[in-house]
Structure 1
Amino acid sequence: MTITELFADFAHRPIDAVTGLPDLTPEQLNAHPGSHPNSIAWLLWHIGREVDVQLSGLSGEPQVWEKYRERFGLGAIGDTVGYGHTPEQASEIVVNDQGLLTDYVTAALTALIDYANTLSAEDFGVVIDENWTPPVTRGVRLVSIVDDAAQHAGQAAYAAGELH
């Protein structure tokens, strides 16, 4: 198994988790279990955005979001990523279509896998960010992106289990 095959398998795990969620009503998608500011819709939207924005920074390619922005209809808040959202900002992320959320997450992570498939094994070891100690390699950044997606997919699954 090559490093790109291993990464593709790893990066597909959040897709499997998101597509495995039970069917949720718009009310369930946008509920705030335990009064938490992040709804399931917010969590799924955020997965797509954090993958998409960071991938665009790595690849230099446009964000997948460009194909989804109008369909989401979130206005300016939709163009953010969600990091540092206040509870009020998080509550502005209202999405009634679970399929749209799943499609966006899948598209963003598939684009990440496609990008990784263009890399050589050596490319994974290239330092891309000197602002950390130790400096961050491309491989570490890619793993970090997927780790964040997997954590949020797990949070969505837990919340969905509580509501379903």
Structure 2
Amino acid sequence: MSFHDLLIDLSERPLRVLRSIEQANISLECANAHLGGHPNSIVWLLWHTGRELDIQLAELSGSEQIWLEQDFAARTGLGAEMGYGHSRQEALRVQVSTQEQFDALLHYVELALRATRNYTAAFSEQEAARILEADVTYGIRLISIIDDAIQHLAQIQYILGAQTAGPQNRCTTAS
């Protein structure tokens, strides 16, 4: 297996995690909830994951942000910033009001993850190898944004597990 194959595999992993999150049928109450009073809700984690991938991938690839191209601000009711450095109060305000907004947010994150996967897959073997040899910060940045997506989506899985462990299932709706 080449480095390029490993990079593609790495970029596909968050998509698999997102699918499991989508299949959980998360209620709006849970999506906006703050487990243990922590300011980062599921909505915030999804939004931040998508924004970070989208903003940084657009800079790396020279492409337009999906957020801007498809007007996800209007579709989700959320801001265009990335959330990095958000104060507690700013993070608490990142919420969706409708199921349509939440579904749009899930769709946005999926598009950002797919764009990341497609970007890594489009490298030739030589280009992928050059990431390791030439500009270390380029390769580190690419791995970093994929790793951050994995971490935030794993946090959502933890929240879902913690919220559903009790006698009442507050986070998901019956399918």
Query: Across the two proteins, how many residue pairs are aligned to each other?
Result: 154
Q: CA deviation at 1:16?
A: 1.2
Q: CA deviation at 1:50?
A: 0.6
Contact kept in structure 2, 1:19 and 1:102, CA below 8 Å: no
Distance 2:141 2:163 in 1: 33
1:56 pairs with one of 55, 58, 82: 58
Contact kept in structure 2, 1:11 and 1:113, CA below 8 Å: yes
Distance 1:41 1:19 in 2: 15
Equivalent in the alignment of 1:108: 112
The residue identity in structure 1 corresponding to 2:80 is D
Tell me the SS of whatever aligns to 1:41: helix
Q: CA deviation at 1:119?
A: 1.8
Equivalent in the alignment of 1:44: 46
Distance 2:84 2:36 in 1: 20
Moved more, 2-11 or 80-89: 2-11
Matched, 1:153 2:153: yes
Contact kept in structure 1, 2:45 and 2:152, CA below 8 Å: yes
The within-5 A match list for 1:9-28 is: 9-21=9-21, 22-28=24-30
Contact kept in structure 1, 2:50 and 2:113, CA below 8 Å: yes
Matched, 1:144 2:148: no
Q: Which digits, 9 at most, give the CA deviation of each residue in 1:10-69, with x for residues without a partner?
A: 112112112202211101000000100100110011110110011011011000112122
Matched, 1:120 2:124: yes
Q: CA deviation at 1:2?
A: 4.3
Query: What is the TM-score when the length of structure 2 is the normalising length?
Result: 0.80
The residue identity in structure 2 corresponding to 1:54 is Q
Distance 1:72 1:108 in 2: 15
Unaligned stretches of 5+ residues in structure 1: 129-134
- Percent identity for Structure 1 against Structure 2: 40
The residue identity in structure 2 corresponding to 1:72 is T
Runs of 4+ displaced beyond 4 Å: none
Equivalent in the alignment of 2:34: 32
RMSD, aligned α-carbons: 1.7
The residue identity in structure 1 corresponding to 2:112 is A
